[in-house]
């Protein structure tokens, strides 16, 4: 007999919770089991008036809406609220019943602006501490890497800024020799915080932000994340990130792995100052050039001297300053009689000058250590590649971090903090589920039946 389904669903009463309609293995159900936001109201209480004005949206409900969006990959507020109107899982997770009206999408924007990026960073840090307490992160072995995030702008928003435009305009045309060609640089008019960057020599520059991520070795928990402009060098953020990781996890770092993009003297100096073992490969050698490169000069850290390829001594000039460069000068008579002068000394000078970073001894020690890498170091660096790069791929593929969804550095930081927080919550929920399965395996059949009815 051919059946028929009546589509007029005119129920007068619905008893029970929306939770009964959601599968137990749904990501929002699993995350809700490990999510505790009871502290949030006290955290943001100072931003609101306690005895005047219209009551605001419940802060826990607002944050749960944001987290639900990032967990499901729905990171745009308009689309999230349209989905929440028909998705009972999102309604249940945020605490809204079927008959309740949802907040307007613009309310989430105002809440982010009111709370600020630093409060979202503290929300992310609480997920890190929860993972440390659950023993799925230790903060002892950490993998650090950076990834570019395309800014939320169009190509039509790019303009060319002439750095020397003012000087060019003030040069007298009667003296053509004084006119210099002004340097140009592309900038983004609609989002000045986004700068031009690329992750490959064969790829074009794009307006981007750069996310600096530190991932724990145990279970891939993100222990620190920060966002800068796209053109900032990776090494500039290392020192602050190392301190932030130790502060958040409460455990001193023992080993940090990075790729060759971090193989700078100041990075190795930061690791040595904090007594952290660095697993960092050396940079690729540049192809031979006509001019003898500085790497052919031998630096004597003990006596603070430099020897040229012919064995002559170059002595330092000027004061030694941390974080700067030091210039070593050769004697004019040594260079005048040297057969390599044509390839070594610039035609405008009479003697060679070699420039070394003041942290160059740390770089030399790191290079010597790299030559002695064993199976342990190789294994740790292999874990670096799939640990931290896997997290970048996960965030961009599933949690909306492939492209900025709003403009401005603070908005990009909030997006990165929320994406990192939901990844950590996923790790925490998986660990919680594993613990339940272990307990169920060790329990009696009757206990397993009762336990499954409550999960």
State yes or no: pLDDT of 174 exceeds 50: no
Q: Bridge partners of 159?
A: 187
* Domain 124-153+193-284+366-428 class in CATH: alpha beta
Contact 145, 228 (CB under 8 A): no
State yes or no: pLDDT of 454 exceeds 50: no
State yes or no: pLDDT of 218 exceeds 50: yes
> How many beta carbons lie within 10 A of that of residue 428, not counting itself?
24
Q: What does the domain layout of the chain look like in residue ranges?
A: 18-115, 124-153+193-284+366-428, 157-189, 294-360
Reduce the DSSP state of residue 20 to 3 states and report it: helix
pLDDT tens profile 303-339:
889 999 999 999 988 766 555 788 899 998 999 989 9
Q: Bridge partners of 299?
A: 306
How many whole angstroms from its chain centre is CA 297?
36
Write the CB contacts of 391 (distance below 8 Å, at least 6 apart in sequence): 213, 215, 220, 222, 423
pLDDT tens profile 75-109:
999 999 999 999 999 999 999 988 889 999 999 99
Smallest CA-to-CA distance from 128 within 250, 262, 286 is with: 250
Report the pLDDT averaged over residues 418-424.
97
Model pLDDT, residue 176: 41
In angstroms, the CA 71 to CA 419 distance is: 8
Report the pLDDT averaged over residues 248-259.
95
Residue 178: pLDDT band (50, 70, 90) is very low
């Amino acid at each position: 007999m051919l059946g028929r389904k009546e589509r007029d669903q005119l129920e007068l009463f619905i008893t029970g919770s929306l939770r009964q309609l959601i599968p137990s293995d749904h990501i929002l159900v699993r995350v809700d089991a490990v999510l505790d936001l009871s502290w949030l109201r006290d955290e943001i209480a100072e931003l609101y008036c306690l005895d005047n004005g219209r009551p605001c949206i419940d802060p826990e409900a607002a944050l749960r809406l944001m987290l639900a969006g990032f967990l499901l990959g729905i990171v745009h507020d308009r689309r999230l609220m349209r989905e929440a109107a028909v998705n009972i899982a999102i309604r249940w997770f945020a605490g809204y019943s079927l008959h309740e009206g949802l907040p307007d999408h613009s309310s989430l924007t105002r809440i982010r602006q009111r709370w600020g990026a630093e409060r979202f960073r503290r929300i992310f840090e609480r997920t890190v501490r929860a993972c440390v307490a659950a023993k799925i992160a230790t903060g002892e072995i950490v993998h650090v890497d950076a990834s570019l995030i395309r800014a939320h702008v169009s190509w039509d928003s790019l303009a060319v800024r002439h750095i020397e435009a003012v000087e060019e305009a003030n040069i007298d045309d009667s003296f053509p020799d004084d006119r210099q060609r002004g340097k140009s640089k592309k900038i983004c008019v609609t989002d000045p915080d986004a700068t031009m960057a690329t992750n490959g020599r064969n790829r074009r520059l794009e307006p981007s932000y750069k996310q600096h991520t530190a991932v724990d070795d145990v279970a891939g928990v993100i222990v620190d994340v920060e966002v800068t402009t796209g053109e900032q060098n990776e090494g500039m953020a290392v020192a602050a990130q190392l301190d932030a990781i130790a502060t958040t996890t409460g455990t001193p770092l023992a080993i940090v792995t990075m790729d060759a993009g971090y193989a700078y003297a100041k990075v190795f100096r930061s690791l040595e100052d904090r007594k952290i073992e660095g697993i960092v490969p050396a940079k690729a050698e540049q192809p031979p050039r006509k001019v003898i490169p500085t790497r052919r000069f031998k630096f004597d850290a003990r006596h603070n001297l430099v020897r040229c390829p012919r064995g002559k001594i170059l002595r330092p000039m000027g004061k030694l300053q941390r974080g700067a460069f030091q210039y070593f000068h050769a004697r004019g008579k040594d260079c005048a009689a040297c057969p390599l002068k044509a390839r070594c000394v610039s035609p405008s000078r009479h003697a060679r000058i070699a420039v070394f970073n003041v942290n160059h001894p740390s770089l030399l020690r790191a290079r010597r250590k790299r030559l002695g890498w064993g199976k342990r170091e190789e294994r740790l660096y292999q874990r670096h590649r799939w640990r931290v790069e896997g997290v970048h791929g996960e965030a961009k593929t599933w949690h909306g971090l492939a492209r900025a969804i709003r403009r401005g550095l603070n908005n990009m930081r909030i997006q990165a903090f929320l994406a990192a927080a939901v990844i950590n919550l996923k790790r925490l929920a998986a660990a919680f589920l594993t613990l339940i399965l272990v307990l169920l395996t060790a329990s009696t059949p009757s206990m397993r039946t009762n336990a499954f009815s409550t999960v």
